[in-house]
Protein backbone atom coordinates (compact mmCIF):
# COMPACT_ATOMS: atom_id res chain seq x y z
CA UNK A 1 0.00 0.00 0.00
CA UNK A 2 1.30 3.46 -0.98
CA UNK A 3 1.22 5.59 2.19
CA UNK A 4 0.75 9.35 2.17
CA UNK A 5 0.99 11.47 5.32
CA UNK A 6 0.01 15.12 5.13
CA UNK A 7 0.98 17.61 7.82
CA UNK A 8 -1.50 20.46 7.88
CA UNK A 9 -3.31 22.99 10.05
CA UNK A 10 -6.52 21.99 8.22
CA UNK A 11 -6.80 18.17 8.34
CA UNK A 12 -10.50 18.44 7.46
CA UNK A 13 -9.42 19.34 3.90
CA UNK A 14 -8.41 15.67 3.41
CA UNK A 15 -9.12 13.41 1.64
CA UNK A 16 -11.43 16.03 0.09
CA UNK A 17 -11.52 15.46 -3.68
CA UNK A 18 -9.28 12.40 -3.33
CA UNK A 19 -12.10 10.65 -1.47
CA UNK A 20 -14.15 10.63 -4.69
CA UNK A 21 -14.00 8.90 -8.06
CA UNK A 22 -11.08 6.60 -8.86
CA UNK A 23 -8.73 7.94 -6.16
CA UNK A 24 -11.50 7.49 -3.57
CA UNK A 25 -12.20 3.94 -4.68
CA UNK A 26 -8.48 3.12 -4.51
CA UNK A 27 -8.39 4.64 -1.01
CA UNK A 28 -11.28 2.44 0.13
CA UNK A 29 -9.74 -0.60 -1.59
CA UNK A 30 -6.51 -0.09 0.36
CA UNK A 31 -4.38 0.61 -2.74
CA UNK A 32 -3.14 3.67 -0.89
CA UNK A 33 -3.66 5.28 2.51
CA UNK A 34 -3.90 8.88 3.61
CA UNK A 35 -3.07 10.11 7.09
CA UNK A 36 -3.82 13.80 7.71
CA UNK A 37 -1.86 14.94 10.75
CA UNK A 38 -2.97 18.11 12.53
CA UNK A 39 0.13 20.25 13.18
CA UNK A 40 -1.73 22.04 15.98
CA UNK A 41 -1.65 18.87 18.07
CA UNK A 42 2.07 19.50 18.55
CA UNK A 43 1.71 23.00 19.99
CA UNK A 44 3.25 23.20 23.44
CA UNK A 45 1.39 26.09 25.06
CA UNK A 46 -2.19 26.03 26.25
CA UNK A 47 -3.32 28.39 23.48
CA UNK A 48 -2.22 25.92 20.82
CA UNK A 49 0.14 28.44 19.22
CA UNK A 50 1.60 27.22 15.92
CA UNK A 51 2.92 30.46 14.39
CA UNK A 52 4.73 33.64 15.34
CA UNK A 53 5.89 36.96 13.87
CA UNK A 54 8.91 36.87 11.55
CA UNK A 55 12.30 37.92 12.92
CA UNK A 56 13.45 41.02 11.07
CA UNK A 57 9.91 42.32 10.81
CA UNK A 58 7.45 42.31 7.96
CA UNK A 59 3.91 41.16 7.47
CA UNK A 60 2.41 37.79 8.28
CA UNK A 61 3.17 34.83 10.47
CA UNK A 62 5.63 31.97 10.25
CA UNK A 63 5.03 28.37 11.37
CA UNK A 64 7.15 27.70 14.46
CA UNK A 65 10.08 25.31 14.00
CA UNK A 66 9.64 23.43 17.30
CA UNK A 67 5.97 22.63 16.64
CA UNK A 68 6.39 21.67 12.98
CA UNK A 69 9.50 19.61 13.64
CA UNK A 70 7.72 17.60 16.36
CA UNK A 71 4.91 16.87 13.90
CA UNK A 72 7.34 15.77 11.18
CA UNK A 73 9.19 13.50 13.62
CA UNK A 74 6.04 11.43 14.23
CA UNK A 75 5.53 10.54 10.56
CA UNK A 76 9.08 10.52 9.13
CA UNK A 77 10.27 7.02 8.21
CA UNK A 78 13.55 5.97 6.59
CA UNK A 79 13.21 5.82 2.80
CA UNK A 80 10.07 7.97 2.66
CA UNK A 81 10.58 11.31 0.88
CA UNK A 82 9.79 14.39 2.96
CA UNK A 83 8.20 16.98 0.67
CA UNK A 84 7.50 20.59 1.53
CA UNK A 85 4.90 22.32 -0.62
CA UNK A 86 6.57 25.58 -1.59
CA UNK A 87 6.42 28.11 -4.43
CA UNK A 88 10.23 28.18 -4.29
CA UNK A 89 10.48 24.43 -4.90
CA UNK A 90 11.41 22.49 -7.97
CA UNK A 91 8.41 22.36 -10.31
CA UNK A 92 6.57 19.07 -9.75
CA UNK A 93 6.33 16.92 -12.88
CA UNK A 94 5.32 13.53 -14.24
CA UNK A 95 8.83 12.14 -13.81
CA UNK A 96 8.82 12.95 -10.07
CA UNK A 97 5.28 11.49 -9.75
CA UNK A 98 6.51 8.20 -11.30
CA UNK A 99 9.50 8.14 -8.94
CA UNK A 100 7.29 8.74 -5.90
CA UNK A 101 4.83 5.94 -6.73
CA UNK A 102 7.74 3.55 -7.21
CA UNK A 103 8.56 4.13 -3.52
CA UNK A 104 6.68 3.40 -0.27
CA UNK A 105 4.84 6.73 -0.08
CA UNK A 106 5.48 10.35 0.84
CA UNK A 107 5.19 12.86 3.64
CA UNK A 108 3.77 16.19 2.44
CA UNK A 109 4.21 19.27 4.61
CA UNK A 110 1.74 22.11 4.00
CA UNK A 111 2.79 25.64 4.86
CA UNK A 112 0.32 28.40 5.70
CA UNK A 113 0.54 32.19 6.12
CA UNK A 114 4.04 33.39 5.13
CA UNK A 115 5.45 29.87 5.23
CA UNK A 116 7.59 27.86 7.63
CA UNK A 117 10.78 28.59 9.60
CA UNK A 118 13.69 27.96 7.22
CA UNK A 119 15.64 25.93 9.79
CA UNK A 120 13.07 23.11 9.58
CA UNK A 121 13.78 22.76 5.85
CA UNK A 122 17.46 22.34 6.64
CA UNK A 123 17.15 20.14 9.74
CA UNK A 124 14.78 17.63 8.08
CA UNK A 125 16.29 18.00 4.59
CA UNK A 126 12.85 18.76 3.18
CA UNK A 127 12.50 18.55 -0.61
CA UNK A 128 10.72 21.71 -1.72
CA UNK A 129 8.09 21.03 -4.37
CA UNK A 130 6.17 23.67 -6.34
CA UNK A 131 2.98 23.09 -8.33
CA UNK A 132 3.46 26.21 -10.45
CA UNK A 133 4.54 29.82 -10.58
CA UNK A 134 1.72 31.26 -8.53
CA UNK A 135 1.09 31.65 -4.80
CA UNK A 136 -1.55 29.57 -3.02
CA UNK A 137 -2.82 30.49 0.43
CA UNK A 138 -1.60 27.17 1.80
CA UNK A 139 0.10 23.95 0.79
CA UNK A 140 -3.05 21.81 1.04
CA UNK A 141 -4.27 22.28 -2.54
CA UNK A 142 -0.71 21.67 -3.77
CA UNK A 143 -0.49 18.46 -1.69
CA UNK A 144 -3.81 17.28 -3.14
CA UNK A 145 -2.46 17.89 -6.66
CA UNK A 146 0.78 15.99 -5.97
CA UNK A 147 -1.06 13.03 -4.39
CA UNK A 148 -3.63 12.94 -7.19
CA UNK A 149 -0.87 12.76 -9.81
CA UNK A 150 0.76 9.90 -7.87
CA UNK A 151 -2.31 7.87 -6.94
CA UNK A 152 -3.66 7.62 -10.49
CA UNK A 153 -0.37 5.93 -11.45
CA UNK A 154 -0.69 3.18 -8.83
CA UNK A 155 -1.33 -0.23 -10.42
CA UNK A 156 -5.07 -0.91 -10.58
CA UNK A 157 -6.21 2.65 -9.93
CA UNK A 158 -6.91 3.82 -13.47
CA UNK A 159 -7.04 0.65 -15.54
CA UNK A 160 -4.65 1.08 -18.42
CA UNK A 161 -5.35 4.75 -19.13
CA UNK A 162 -2.40 6.05 -17.13
CA UNK A 163 0.02 3.28 -18.01
CA UNK A 164 -0.44 3.58 -21.76
CA UNK A 165 2.36 6.12 -21.75
CA UNK A 166 0.67 8.18 -24.47
CA UNK A 167 -0.52 10.87 -22.12
CA UNK A 168 0.80 14.39 -21.91
CA UNK A 169 4.38 14.54 -20.57
CA UNK A 170 4.95 10.77 -20.50
CA UNK A 171 7.41 10.99 -23.36
CA UNK A 172 7.98 14.72 -23.30
CA UNK A 173 5.07 15.69 -25.58
CA UNK A 174 1.56 16.99 -24.91
CA UNK A 175 -1.40 14.81 -25.78
CA UNK A 176 -3.27 14.67 -29.09
CA UNK A 177 -6.91 15.95 -29.20
CA UNK A 178 -9.82 13.62 -28.40
CA UNK A 179 -13.21 13.24 -30.09
CA UNK A 180 -16.30 11.14 -29.38
CA UNK A 181 -19.81 10.76 -30.84
CA UNK A 182 -21.61 12.40 -32.57
CA UNK A 183 -19.35 12.37 -35.65
CA UNK A 184 -20.82 15.72 -36.69
CA UNK A 185 -21.70 18.16 -33.93
CA UNK A 186 -23.48 21.50 -34.31
CA UNK A 187 -22.05 24.01 -31.84
CA UNK A 188 -23.73 27.08 -30.29
CA UNK A 189 -22.45 29.11 -33.27
CA UNK A 190 -24.59 27.00 -35.67
CA UNK A 191 -21.54 25.55 -37.38
CA UNK A 192 -21.41 21.81 -38.06
CA UNK A 193 -18.11 20.41 -36.89
CA UNK A 194 -17.11 16.96 -38.15
CA UNK A 195 -14.40 14.97 -36.36
CA UNK A 196 -11.14 14.59 -38.33
CA UNK A 197 -11.80 12.15 -41.19
CA UNK A 198 -8.85 9.91 -40.44
CA UNK A 199 -10.34 8.92 -37.05
CA UNK A 200 -13.30 7.33 -38.83
CA UNK A 201 -11.12 5.46 -41.31
CA UNK A 202 -10.50 2.41 -39.09
CA UNK A 203 -6.91 2.50 -40.35
CA UNK A 204 -4.86 2.10 -37.15
CA UNK A 205 -1.50 3.06 -38.60
CA UNK A 206 -2.92 6.22 -40.15
CA UNK A 207 -4.68 7.14 -36.90
CA UNK A 208 -1.45 6.62 -34.97
CA UNK A 209 0.52 8.74 -37.44
CA UNK A 210 -2.10 11.52 -37.29
CA UNK A 211 -2.04 11.52 -33.49
CA UNK A 212 1.75 11.56 -33.36
CA UNK A 213 1.78 14.55 -35.71
CA UNK A 214 -0.86 16.43 -33.65
CA UNK A 215 1.22 15.85 -30.49
CA UNK A 216 4.30 17.35 -32.10
CA UNK A 217 2.40 20.30 -33.51
CA UNK A 218 0.58 21.12 -30.26
CA UNK A 219 3.77 20.83 -28.21
CA UNK A 220 5.76 22.98 -30.65
CA UNK A 221 3.09 25.71 -30.71
CA UNK A 222 2.25 25.77 -27.00
CA UNK A 223 5.34 24.71 -25.11
CA UNK A 224 8.61 25.83 -26.62
CA UNK A 225 10.41 24.53 -23.50
CA UNK A 226 9.11 20.95 -23.87
CA UNK A 227 9.60 21.03 -27.62
CA UNK A 228 13.25 22.09 -27.34
CA UNK A 229 13.95 19.27 -24.89
CA UNK A 230 12.12 16.71 -27.05
CA UNK A 231 13.89 17.83 -30.23
CA UNK A 232 17.17 17.67 -28.29
CA UNK A 233 16.70 14.04 -27.19
CA UNK A 234 15.67 13.06 -30.72
CA UNK A 235 18.87 14.53 -32.15
CA UNK A 236 20.78 12.88 -29.31
CA UNK A 237 19.45 9.47 -30.37
CA UNK A 238 20.90 9.72 -33.85
> Can you give the binding site for ligand SAH, defined by CB under 6 A?
85-88, 110-112, 114-115, 130-132, 134-136, 138-139, 142
Return the bridge partners of 5, or none. Answer: 35, 107
Shorter beta-carbon distance to ligand SAH: residue 71 or 142: 142
Instruction: Round to whole Å and give the CA distance between 88 and 20.
Output: 30
Give kind and range of the element (H or E) at residue 32: strand 32-38
Shorter beta-carbon distance to ligand SAH: residue 140 or 174: 140
CB of 5 to ligand SAH, least distance (A): 15
Instruction: Round to whole Å and give the CA distance between 107 and 139.
Output: 13
Q: Give the nearest residue (CB) to ligand SAH.
A: 111
Shorter beta-carbon distance to ligand SAH: residue 48 or 132: 132
CB of 51 to ligand SAH, least distance (A): 11
Strand order across the 62-63 sheet? 51-52, 62-63, 115-116
CB of 61 to ligand SAH, least distance (A): 10
Shorter beta-carbon distance to ligand SAH: residue 86 or 219: 86
CB of 132 to ligand SAH, least distance (A): 5
**Residues 140/92, Cβ–Cβ less than 8 Å:** no
Measured CA to CA in angstroms, residue 98 lies from 104, 164, 175, 220 at distances of 12, 13, 18, 24
Amino acid sequence: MWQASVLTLFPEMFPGPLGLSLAGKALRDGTWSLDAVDIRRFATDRHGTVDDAPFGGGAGLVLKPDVLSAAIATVARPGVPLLLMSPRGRPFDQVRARELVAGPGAVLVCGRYEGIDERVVEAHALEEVSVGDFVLSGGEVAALAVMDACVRLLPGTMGDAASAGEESFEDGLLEYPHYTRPAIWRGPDGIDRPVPEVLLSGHHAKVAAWRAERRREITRLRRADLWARFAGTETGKR
